[in-house]
Homo-oligomer: A and B are copies of this chain.
Amino acid sequence: MKRVTHANSFALRSHTCGELRKSDVGRKVKLSGWVQFQRMNKFVLLRDAYGVTQLVVPDENQLTGDIEVILDDVEVLSSSISNLPFTVQESPKLLKIVRHHGFVDIETPTLFRRTPGGAQEFVVPTRTSGKFYSLVQSPQQFKQLLMIGGFDRYFQIARCYRDEGTKPNRQPEFTQVDIEMSFTTKENIQRLIEGLLNHVWPEDMGRIPIPFPEMTYKDAMKNYGVDKPDTRFDVLLQDVTELAKASEISRIFGTSEIVDFAAIALVFKDSAALISKSAEQSFLESAKMTTGKTNLSFVLNRIQDGNKWKSSLAKKLTQETMNSIGDRLGASAGDVVLLGLGPRESLVMEWWGALYSLHFEPRRETLLAVLNYGAIDVLTWILVPSMGKMRLEVANHLETLGVKLRSNSKNFLWVVDFPLFLPSEELDGGPLQSAHHPFTAPHPEDEHLLRSSPLDVRGLHYDLVLNGSEIGGGSIRIHQSDVQELVLKEILQEDPANLHHLLKALSCGAPPHGGIALGLDRLMSIICDTKSIRDVIAFPKSLDGKDLMSGAPSSISEKEKEMYHIGAVHNK
């Protein structure tokens, strides 16, 4: 372990237990630590946060190893009646954010008022009956207000809160690096973040290549079936609908009621022998499960010599179809071709459940976008994310078998040109919703469509993706009061009174501004290569929001309930 600079200052020691070297032989030292091991009342391994040193109780027949400390005196500071329930770990080196480029670190409140149209926010009762704070889901409004107040460049490591119920890899409280700038552009913020990440990236992990590539939301969905593509392996989704149509539809689906369909393919090279029958079953069932009651089909085809397919589909497609698909995909003997097929039916209620389970981390916005984004038909956008999910599942499985599919690189990627609005969550309509939040500025090329065709307007939002995980997101904000009011009132049909303070501020000569937030926990988790963000959080909560150590959340006293004017409501 590396020596930590000046770790002996202000401490009851002259050296850490990881510090003594041959050059220290003969020196009088003072160590503090835990007894890790004791042998024959003669050898003691003393351990601290930095290392282990062997102590020797003086003896006539002294044996000395490389570095040992001969004991003068010992003081037992504390005794341990049980061993630590977990091992002493090295503290993960937390990101050091440099206050570069004139950014000012400003702390903003967390006890605030609910922001309309975002995640579910925790509420905090007060001593005033019926009045509650909300715990902020992000410092969004504050950062914008600071820009309007003339602060120019703001930066904060901000604690945020979201009550998202049980979701994997999320915590009720988390930390993000928040940045906001006046008089800037999307590209400027991108370059800033690239430079920042490059600067803070651990040296021993190698430099990261900047600038990061950029991909539109449409291309991400089309090629990867997800808005946060893992680009470390180049298996792409391919639309083979037209090729598949050379075979008879009624043979493929076993019914003559279907008049049109779509087909999406994935090729995994040299995998036919690796994927067992039971693994195949598991992939197909998982895909079937996420698409639920819809009549989509997923087929795994093992390619054999002469482009013969080994699968239930082989008999339903003509050899010509298989040849043309195989040619298009560059598939050859020993490869696996995964095919997803689905009839182009009109949207029915049954599809709704499928939409909600299509993503690893179900995100309402993305699901809704899938439904209605642009002119692309619904079916393709249900099939595509299913195949996107299968792409990752098969890749993960092959890697557990020892296949090296992903590159070792850290693939940062900007995903841009998200839709600004999404249709209502309600099936029967209702006002549009913000894809991210109501403060994102429309793309200048689409601004004229705001009133006439809001669903076709792209936003100046950008997500930062690393190896298939979203680690940040931001946007250029609306800085004109009238545009913000149009969005709030006419498009989102929100009561502008809730954001009166922001609208007022925007009318005071707001500078053009934009910003970004990076999820520090996610980023750390990826840097440390941990399975869950819980592994990089001190005292994390469990999946259901419990602190297992202390038992929080817990009951409170009747006196407190009275103080906060709250009584328990037992819902059925």
Chain A residues within 8 Å of B, Cβ to Cβ: 4-7, 9-13, 32-34, 48-50, 77-86, 88-89, 91, 93-94, 96, 99-102, 104-114, 120, 122-135, 141-142, 145-146, 148-153, 159, 161, 163, 165, 172-173, 175, 181-185, 188-189, 191-192, 479-481, 501, 507-512, 537-541, 545, 547, 549-556, 560-571
Contacts and interface: CB of A to CB of B under 8 A. Distances in A.
Given A104-B91, A552-B133, A181 B10 contact: yes
Kindly list the 8 A-B residue pairs having the minimum CB-CB distance in the complex, ordered from nearest. A80-B509, A7-B102, A88-B150, A4-B102, A113-B552, A49-B152, A32-B183, A10-B188
A501 B550 contact: yes
Contacts of A5: 101-102
A173 B110 contact: yes
Given A112-B550, A131-B554, 8 more contacts: A50-B152, A77-B479, A84-B148, A89-B150, A110-B110, A113-B551, A146-B538, A566-B569
Contacts of A102: 4-7
A179 to B, nearest CB: 10
A149 B89 contact: yes
Given A7-B153, A113-B550, A569-B565, A508 B85 contact: yes
- Where chain A touches its partner, the secondary structure class is loop
A184 B509 contact: no
A340 B276 CA distance: 93
Nearest to A540: B109
Given A99-B96, A101-B6, A539-B142, A181 B11 contact: yes
A354 to B, nearest CB: 26
9 contacts: A10-B101, A77-B479, A77-B512, A82-B508, A94-B107, A126-B553, A127-B163, A129-B569, A567-B569
A562 B571 contact: yes
A132 B163 CA distance: 13
B10 A100 contact: no
Contact of A183 (B12, B108, B150, B509): B12
Contacts of A134: 552, 556
B110 A159 contact: yes
A6 to B, nearest CB: 4
Nearest to A150: B88
Contacts of A130: 555, 568
Contact of A507 (B82, B113, B153): B82
A156 to B, nearest CB: 10
A323 B48 CA distance: 66
A31 to B, nearest CB: 9
Given A124-B135, A173-B109, A556-B132, A49 B150 contact: yes
Given A77-B512, A85-B508, A480-B78, A183 B11 contact: yes
Contacts of A135: 124
A81 B32 contact: no
Nearest to A122: B124
B9 A101 contact: yes
Contacts of A149: 84, 86, 88-89
Nearest to A146: B538
B565 A571 contact: yes
A198 to B, nearest CB: 14
Nearest to A560: B123
B10 A192 contact: yes
Candidate in A100, A132, A571 with the most chain B CB atoms within 10 angstroms: A132
Given A173-B111, A553-B128, A554-B114, A191 B10 contact: yes
Nearest to A549: B501
Candidate in A83, A134, A480 with the most chain B CB atoms within 10 angstroms: A134
A149 B122 CA distance: 31
A183 B34 CA distance: 11
